[in-house]
Chain A
Amino acid sequence: MSLLSRPAGNKKVPIPVPEEKLKEGTPKEQVFVASQWQLMWWRFRKHHLAILGTSLIAVFYLLAIFCEFLSPYDPNAFERRYTFVPPQAIHFFHEGVWEGPFIYGLERARDPETYLITYQPDTEVRYPVEFFVQGDSYKMWGLLESSRHLFGLSSDVNARGLRIYLLGTDRLGRDMFSRVLYGARISLSIGLIGVFLSFVIGIFMGGISGYFGGMPDLIIQRIIEFLRSIPTIPLWMGLSAALPRDWSSLQRYFAIVLLLSLIGWTGLARVVRGRFLAVREEDYVTAALLQNASEARIILRHMLPSFFSYIIASLTLAIPGMILGETSLSFLGLGLRPPIISWGVLLQEAQNLQTVALAPWLLIPAIFVVIAILSFNFMGDGLRDAADPYKR
């Protein structure tokens, strides 16, 4: 991945000089007075896959944040007449004539041999896709009550029981598109919150380990080795099996996050410790010491800034692990459970032969997982390469 994403020879350029800047009157002055973050940005910008990944992540988080508004339906509303509907296409031209976005009606039929219900587009009827339509009411972030959705069918069509299913429906006739969006909120936030918790534990333990060394270092390193030697899935299984069954879904959500970060901090602690050990040997730290700088000043002003970018890069690279952890736990039925919707929960529901054979669109959440993970990895890759613009 990183091999593909690195432009040839990028490593050899110590300080990236933006070409357009060089053409201007005061060519290099801009580089000379550029701060660490400016230099990092110039280098990060050159990493096209990282930029792509970052944009995708931004889109994903926007989708997750505004999922109530963006999804056309309540993710838990079911429609018994429309189970296992395949994804519907949005059309713009009817018989070669521009009509604007619309969908064809659905013709429901039963296969005379297998008795399976099949759906065919009914090209006789067309329903226009409208924007800012009234639909199921929701509470945005649990606060703002509204019933307006970004897109959908007009309310009179809605009233006749017709629906638009961009990604099809599941066995209860729930709209997969809405469910994927709501699932993004849970899955992506677990990554962020989990990494934040790991970060707090990791920077604390790693900081103690790296700065003080000696006995505390020895003890913390042995703990980390112990935690890392346990296979993660059985450990997660054991811990999540210990969660009380009668916990509410919210409690369960936080318990899972905590559980993931209790294991996830070890990697970050190692990064922090390693950076501390490396930076402690830098001459400028000795220089600060000899100028009577206090310990707090040395850590905050000299040491932290020099490895903060590394920490951000490792944090980014740790998020996919968290997302995958949640997904695998939920997939195994040990993490989150319905009625919470996460990508793992959606995949768990798709976990049978019938789905794979007859309703493969139920596996679409897996594509979202893959895209999210790849995007985070690309972004993390770019950040890691840009993390130390002073590397010689």
Chain B
Amino acid sequence: MAEPNGNVILEVQDLKKHFPIKRGFLNKVVGQVKAVDGVSFQVPTGTTLGLVGESGCGKTTTSRCILRAISPTGGKVLFHDEKLGVVDVVTADKATLRQLRLNMQLIFQDPFSSLNPRMTLLDIVGEPLIINRVARGRAVEERVAELLARVGLRPEYMRRYPHAFSGGQRQRIGIARALALNPRLVVADEPVSALDVSIQAQTLNLLQDLQAEFNLSYIFVAHDLSVVQHISDNVAVMYVGRLVEYATNEELFFNPKHPYTEALLSSVRRPDPLSKRERIVLEGDVPDPSHPPTGCYFHPRCRYAKDICQSETPPLLEVSPGHMAACHFATELTLQGVG
């Protein structure tokens, strides 16, 4: 990975989250689910990192760990704050964490569960302002009106409750709430996967406009590769709690170095009926993260697997400048991208 420099807003180093499996009357720990197991990446300021993978691969856990909505088991999440300098989110004390959270916010996947149905838009979007003493009284209303207008909702709607809005509109409310405190980093956890395709495009465009306007950095979690290709500058591919490939958008989509990425890319639908691309259908399921396979986690489903893949875990290594892959044969294989 590139050297840390002043333009990086977030560095994740060897992030781990293991959930204990408890059984029996005394809740004895009988195993660990390694939901996130040693993930490292950086987010340069003002860019978008796409985090992709199948469901259950630890994308959401990673995003929650970055914000410390759940406490990571190990590793570092270094946030480059303007006032506080470089702070490790994982070990930050309460006061520091409060400061940090002004600068990093989360957009949720489910636009229904993420808004409290018993509060009006004014209360929902205004709550962060009131809690953090950014504004009071009339000023809250003005700021909420401004935010609603910015995400494309009529400010007159602020007395309404969430049940008055459609999924896409609700997601805009969620975005307005995330932006209320002027954060610098926004973690978007599958923000469009619950929406209709036409609404997806609108929402993605809105996110891109906001990024340009406020110089936001995004971590964009998704399982839909076309969405990720549309919005990301860099892409990280996760498999069973680990990164298997990390590269710039173009590199990853046109020149993948990991067989898993290749398989994922082959599943992207192209609006070209004459395309002769081979569709790679992965056999089997995502391994159970409490009992992962030996060696390379992907070897039981990999069509290029050799003996070494069963016994040795491949490290995440730089294949070409800025392009990392965790495969024993990353330099030898010629894999097919979307081109």
Residues 172-203 of B, flagged 1 when their CB comes within 8 A of A and 0 if not, give 00100100010000000000000000000000
Known contacts A283-B113, A297-B131: A290-B118 contact under CB 8 Å: no
Interface readout for A320-343 with B: 1 if CB under 8 Å, 0 if not?
000000000000000000000000
Q: Is the CB of B160 within 8 A of A33?
A: yes
Cβ 8 A contact of A284, one of B64, B102, B116, B157: B116
Q: Mark A15-34, 1 if CB is under 8 A from B, else 0.
A: 10000000000001001111
A291 interface neighbour in B109, B131, B160, Cβ under 8 Å: B131
Task: Kindly identify which residue among B98, B113, B127 contacts A288, using a CB–CB cutoff of 8 Å.
Answer: B127
Please report the total number of B residues contacting A with Cβ < 8 Å.
33
Q: Which residues of chain B come closer than 8 Å to A39, judged between CB atoms?
A: 163
| A292 and B160 contact, CB distance less than 8 A | no
Q: Mark A274-291, 1 if CB is under 8 A from B, else 0.
A: 000000001110111111
Which residues of B are found within 8 Å of A36, using beta-carbon distances? 117-118
Q: Which residue of A lies closest to B160 (CB)?
A: A32
In the bound assembly, the distance between CA atoms of A292 and B27 in angstroms comes to 32
**Smallest distance from the beta carbon of B336 to chain A beta carbons, Å?**
38
B56 to A: closest C-beta gap in Å:
17
Interface residues of B in 224-241 (CB under 8 A from A): none
Q: Which residues of B contact A15 (CB under 8 A)?
A: 163
Chain A contacts with B in 277-322, Cβ cutoff 8 A: 282-284, 286-294, 297, 302, 305-306
A292 touches B115 (CB 8 A): no
Q: Within 8 Å CB of A283, what residues of B?
A: 108-110, 113-114
How far, in whole Å, are A387 and B181 apart by their CA atoms in the complex?
A: 34
Q: With a CB–CB cut-off of 8 A, which chain B residues contact A28?
A: 164
Any A CB within 8 A of the CB of B38:
no
* Given A287-B177, A290-B69, A35 and B164 contact (CB-CB distance below 8 Å): no
Check B249 for interface membership: any CB of A closer than 8 A. no
Pair A34/B131 contact, Cβ less than 8 Å: no
Contact of A35 (CB < 8 Å), options: B108, B118, B128, B174: B118
CB neighbours of A390 from chain B (8 A)? 117, 163
* Distance between Cα atoms of A31 and B164 in the complex (Å): 8
Q: Which of B114, B118, B131 contacts A293 (CB 8 A)?
A: B131
Q: Interface residues of B: mostly helix, strand, loop or mixed?
A: loop
CB distance from A216 to the nearest CB of B (A): 13
Contact assessment for B116 and A302 in the assembled complex, using a CB-CB cutoff below 8 Å: yes
Contact of A289 with B118 in the complex, beta carbons under 8 Å: no
Bound CA–CA A288/B108 (angstroms): 12
The answer to whether A290 touches B132, judged by C-beta atoms less than 8 angstroms apart, is: no
Nearest CB in chain A: distance from B35 CB, A: 16
Whether B329 is near chain A, meaning CB under 8 Å from some CB there, is: no
> Is A4 among interface residues, defined by CB-CB distance under 8 A?
no
> A292 near B98 (CB under 8 angstroms)?
yes
Compute how far the CA of A358 lies from the CA of B64 in the bound complex, rounded to whole angstroms: 75
Q: How far is the CA of A35 from the CA of B120 in the complex (A)?
A: 8
Is A392 in contact with chain B by the CB < 8 A criterion? yes
Q: Is the CB of B131 within 8 A of A218?
A: no
B118 touches A287 (CB 8 A): no
Interface residues of B in 66-115 (CB under 8 A from A): 67, 69, 98, 101-102, 105-106, 108-110, 112-115
| In contact, B114 and A292 (Cβ under 8 angstroms) | no
What are the residues of chain B within 8 A of A32 when measuring CB–CB? Answer: 157, 160-161, 163-164
Residues of B within 8 A of A389 (CB): 163
* Minimum Cβ distance to chain A for residue B7 (Å): 25
CA distance A31 to B163 in the complex (A): 9
Across-interface contacts of A302 in B (CB, < 8 A)? 116
A120: min CB distance to chain B, Å: 64
Q: Tell me whether A284 and B114 are in contact (CB under 8 A).
A: yes
A291 near B132: Cβ-Cβ < 8 Å: yes
Residues of A within 8 A of B161 (CB): 32-35
Task: For the complex of A and B, list the 8 residue pairs with the smallest distance between their C-beta atoms, beginning with the closest.
Answer: A32-B164, A283-B114, A291-B128, A390-B117, A284-B116, A32-B160, A283-B113, A283-B108
By a beta-carbon cutoff of 8 Å, the part of chain A in contact with chain B is: 15, 28, 31-36, 39, 218, 282-284, 286-294, 297, 302, 305-306, 389-390, 392
Inter-chain pairs besides A33-B160, A291-B127, 18 sampled, C-beta below 8 Å: A32-B157, A32-B161, A33-B159, A39-B163, A218-B27, A283-B108, A283-B113, A283-B114, A286-B69, A286-B108, A287-B114, A290-B67, A291-B177, A292-B102, A293-B127, A302-B116, A306-B116, A390-B117
12 interchain pairs, CB-CB under 8 A: A15-B163, A31-B163, A32-B157, A33-B164, A36-B118, A218-B27, A287-B177, A290-B69, A290-B106, A291-B127, A291-B181, A389-B163
